[in-house]
């Protein structure tokens, strides 16, 4: 058998995306409480996300949202978000425990994203962490009602990473 440029791109990208979600899920978190939510979006399911990116960008004068919506066309996107930890574990909330819980949620999200993109890097899959994708996902509650912070990571297999040097 002979295969020239044997990439089976969508299948390879979906496998990479699933591995990234596993890495995000198993990343260390504060207080041993897991509030991370992950998803993989591709194909026609990208349309609502792209539409919200364009709508939000135009409504708020954020042109990069509009640019990023076009930039993810035809790609696989990993979403990683977090619910906010708000249970105080019996502590007095007047001493900032809620704020500390929210901060630990954000820190846990950062660690999860770092773990996920390290998998993409190990597999040499083009990627970029994008706030615009995550904000749109939160706006349309793609990861659920309780997810308040999210980021998107588009994936690609190409000769040059399409998520850098964008216009």
Judge whether 2 lies within some domain. no
Interval 58-111: pLDDT, tens? 999 999 999 999 999 989 999 999 998 765 444 444 555 566 667 888 889 999
The CATH number linked to 36 is 3.40.109.10
Q: Which domain holds residue 69?
A: 9-96+104-155
Residue pair 142/40 in contact (Cβ under 8 Å)? The answer is no
Does 73 fall in a domain? yes
Query: Who's near 137: CB < 8 A, 6+ residues apart?
Result: 39, 49, 52, 79, 81, 143, 147, 150, 152
Judge whether 36 and 111 are in contact, CB under 8 Å. Answer: no
The total of structural domains in the chain comes to 1
Residue ranges of E strands in the chain? 36-41, 76-83, 126-127, 147-156
Residue 162 belongs to some domain of the structure: no
Q: In terms of pTM, does the model score above 0.95?
A: no
Instruction: Please indicate, yes or no, if residue 167 is contained in any of the structural domains.
Output: no
């Amino acid at each position: 058998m002979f295969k020239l440029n044997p990439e089976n791109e969508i299948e390879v990208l979906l496998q990479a995306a699933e591995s990234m979600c596993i890495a995000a899920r198993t990343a260390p978190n504060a207080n041993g409480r897991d509030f991370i939510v992950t998803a993989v979006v591709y194909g026609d399911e990208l349309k609502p996300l792209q539409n919200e990116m364009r709508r939000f960008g135009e409504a708020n004068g954020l042109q990069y949202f509009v640019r990023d919506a076009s930039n993810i066309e035809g790609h696989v996107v990993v979403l990683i978000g977090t619910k906010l930890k708000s249970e105080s574990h019996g502590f007095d909330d007047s001493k900032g425990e809620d704020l500390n819980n929210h901060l630990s949620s954000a820190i846990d999200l950062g660690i999860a994203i770092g773990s996920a993109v390290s998998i993409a890097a190990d597999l040499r899959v083009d990627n970029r962490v994008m706030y615009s994708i995550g904000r749109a996902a939160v706006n349309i509650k793609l990861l659920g009602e309780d997810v308040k912070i999210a980021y998107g990571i588009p994936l690609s297999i190409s000769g040059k990473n399409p998520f850098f040097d964008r216009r």
